[in-house]
Amino acid sequence: MYHAVLVSDRRHITVGQRRLSYLESGAGRPLILVHGFPLSAEMWAPQLADPPAGWRIVAPDLRGFGPSPDPIAPRTMEDYSDDVMDLMRGLEIGQAVIGGLSMGGYVVFSLRRRAPQLFQGLVLADTRATADTVEGRAARTRMQALAEKEGAEGVLREMMPKMLSEQAQRTDESAVAAVRGLMRGAPVPAITAALGAMMARPDSTPLLPDVACPALVVVGSEDRLTPAADSDAMHRLLPNADLRVIAGAGHLSNIENPRAFNRALADFLAQKF
Ligand code: MLT
């Protein structure tokens, strides 16, 4: 069951010239969770509602999404990983378990490339390490045009069938409503900027063998956007990783089956830290 997050729960912090927004819950060691596309920190509502014992979840809104103001597009993954680094600095978090879902995973790879010392652990949810294929880039360019023409509604129509499993699309009204609400909230400049950043991101596969810290790879078995095979591939290359497949869940496995997702997270944190 998806728990809505009140916008009034949002926290803000000014770091240098920038005002960043984020959601936070729990207390203890820091766990940073980076949202996917075209969503916001609110996608982590089911995790924020049930933080693992002894852990403090911090979920940033990447620039342009949620109430985080967007400077100027175009954007790169490094801009988004700056957001995470700035927020960690602003909150005086020196090291954390850092995770992301889908595009959030691409942001985490960018952060890992630039600042591996920030990682106590790594969580890769419904994501992939590889760069976009030529066809994938062409699809992103088409989606940018669709967003310009029809706004978030066009992107919603195109992506919604791939966000949740077929079963959930038919039967889980609260998850469907939550995902629709999250996607409708995305401003067009943020959508087109993120598509550009995803399209230009490098292959992060070479980073994987050097990730010595504990890692969790988690994926819905019915994920059609970043299929379980991508998670298998990452798991095989990571020297110190667990793999959890959430049976029946689609791409947004944390929303579709929060109980299983939260259990995977809590087990990993309890066993490795
Ligand atoms: C996401 O869920 O963040 C995106 O769909 C990822 C992608 O399009 O590669």
DSSP string, 197-222: HHHHPPP-GGGGGG--S-EEEEEETT
Continuous segment of H or E residues that includes residue 257: none
- Quickly tell me which residue has 């066993």 as its tokens: 271
Q: Give the ligand 1 atom nearest the CA of 162.
A: 5
pLDDT for the residue 35: 98
Q: Give the ligand 1 atom nearest the CA of 198.
A: 9
pLDDT for the residue 135: 98
Asked if residue 228 lies in contact with residue 236, where contact means CB atoms within 8 angstroms, the answer is no
Residues touching ligand 1 (Cβ under 6 Å) are 36-37, 102-103, 198, 225
Asked if residue 144 lies in contact with residue 199, where contact means CB atoms within 8 angstroms, the answer is no
pTM: 0.97
56-66: buried (b, 16+ CB within 10 Å) or exposed (e) per residue?
A: bbbbbbbbbbb
Q: Give the ligand 1 atom nearest the CA of 128.
A: 9
189 contacts: CB under 8 Å, gap ≥ 6: 64, 70, 73
Side chain identity, residue 17: Q
As a dihedral over the C-alpha atoms of residue 182, residue 187, residue 193, residue 196, rounded to 10 degrees, the angle is 60
CA of 162 to the centre of ligand 1 (A): 10
CA of 29 to the centre of ligand 1 (A): 28
pLDDT for the residue 229: 98
HSE, CB side, 13 Å, CA atoms: give it for residue 42.
26
Query: What is Dmax (Cα atoms) for the chain?
Result: 48
The tokens describing 239, both together, are 């020297």
Separation of alpha carbons 66 and 115, rounded Å: 25
pLDDT for the residue 7: 56
CA of 59 to the centre of ligand 1 (A): 17
Among 34, 62, 65, 103, the mutation site with the greatest number of ligand 1 atoms within 8 A of its Cβ is 103
pLDDT for the residue 73: 66
The tokens describing 150, both together, are 């029809």
pLDDT for the residue 17: 83
pLDDT for the residue 4: 65
CA of 54 to the centre of ligand 1 (A): 30
CB atoms within 10 A of CB 110: 25
CA of 213 to the centre of ligand 1 (A): 25
Q: Which of these, 105, 126, 81, lies nearest to 225 by C-alpha position?
A: 126
Among 224, 226, 231, the mutation site with the greatest number of ligand 1 atoms within 8 A of its Cβ is 226
Asked if residue 14 lies in contact with residue 84, where contact means CB atoms within 8 angstroms, the answer is no
pLDDT for the residue 145: 98
Asked if residue 216 lies in contact with residue 241, where contact means CB atoms within 8 angstroms, the answer is yes
CB atoms within 10 A of CB 149: 9
State the 10-residue block means of pLDDT for the chain, 273 residues long.
67 90 96 98 95 97 86 82 96 98 98 98 98 98 97 96 97 95 93 96 98 98 98 98 98 98 98 97
pLDDT for the residue 88: 98
CA of 28 to the centre of ligand 1 (A): 30
Separation of alpha carbons 58 and 84, rounded Å: 10
Pairing of strands 55-60, 29-34: parallel
The CA angle 26-30-33, to the nearest 5 degrees, is: 90
pLDDT for the residue 55: 98
Asked if residue 35 lies in contact with residue 101, where contact means CB atoms within 8 angstroms, the answer is yes
Asked if residue 253 lies in contact with residue 219, where contact means CB atoms within 8 angstroms, the answer is yes
